[in-house]
Structure 1
Amino acid sequence: MIQHSQVTDIELRSKIHHQEIHIGGNKRLKIYGLLSCLSGKRMKRENRVFFTSEEEAIQNEYRPCGHCMKEKYKAWKDLQNTQ
């Protein structure tokens, strides 16, 4: 997990370009989603984190975004309701 506040914009763009980062997240709300998600783009820099994979986000106990990952969010929500 990479915190946005700990990397420069140039380093971040480089990591995205070299496909070292695939998923973004909100560390306060424990939500992950696509880098192109409008909700993610609006969050504060100090709350934004990045993951190399969706599996890494799940291992850190983040849930899918309800905006950009509707199907995965629905599956996660259904699983929560059965527990």
Structure 2
Amino acid sequence: MTAKHVWMLMGSDGTRYPSLQAAAFGGHRRGKRYGTLDCRAALQAIARGGYVKNRVFFLDQACAVAAGYRPCAACMPVEYRQWKTQAAL
């Protein structure tokens, strides 16, 4: 019998829930930003000993945006520029 990993994801309403499907994006709860799981900026912050206690995970971009998070400028520059343009309106 194989044990399945359960992921704790954040839903579009901001509540956490268990999921058998892995996260596609990671985020920072205090900074209200999200990005790819291999984001250089996030990995550097984790290596320095920060970030981890405020780390959240999302199934997709739609959930992250609906929960009030913005795209990361480092790993998602196109999405970040689009968000910044809309935020300025």
TM-score, length basis structure 1: 0.74
Equivalent position of 1:77 in the other structure: 84
The percentage of aligned residue pairs carrying the same residue is 37
Relative to its length, the structure with more helix (as a share) is 1
Q: Tell me the secondary structure at the aligned position of residue 67 of structure 1.
A: coil
Q: Deviations over 1:12-62 (max 9, x none)?
A: xxx8xx752100000000000000101112242101111111111011000
Taking the aligned partners of 2:25 and 2:40, their CA distance within structure 1 comes to 13
Higher radius of gyration, 1 or 2: 2
* Count of residue pairs brought into register by the alignment: 68
Equivalent position of 1:66 in the other structure: 73
- Which residue identity does 2:38 align to in structure 1? S
52-61 or 35-44: which moved more?
A: 35-44
TM-score, length basis structure 2: 0.69
CA RMSD of aligned residues (A): 1.8
Instruction: Decide which of 22, 31, 34 is 2:33's aligned counterpart.
Output: 31
What does 1:2-13 align with in structure 2 at a 5 Å threshold?
none
Taking the aligned partners of 2:74 and 2:56, their CA distance within structure 1 comes to 17
Equivalent position of 1:40 in the other structure: 42
Structure 2, unmatched stretches of 5+, are 1-9, 12-18
Structure 1, unmatched stretches of 5+, are 3-14
- Which residue identity does 1:80 align to in structure 2? A
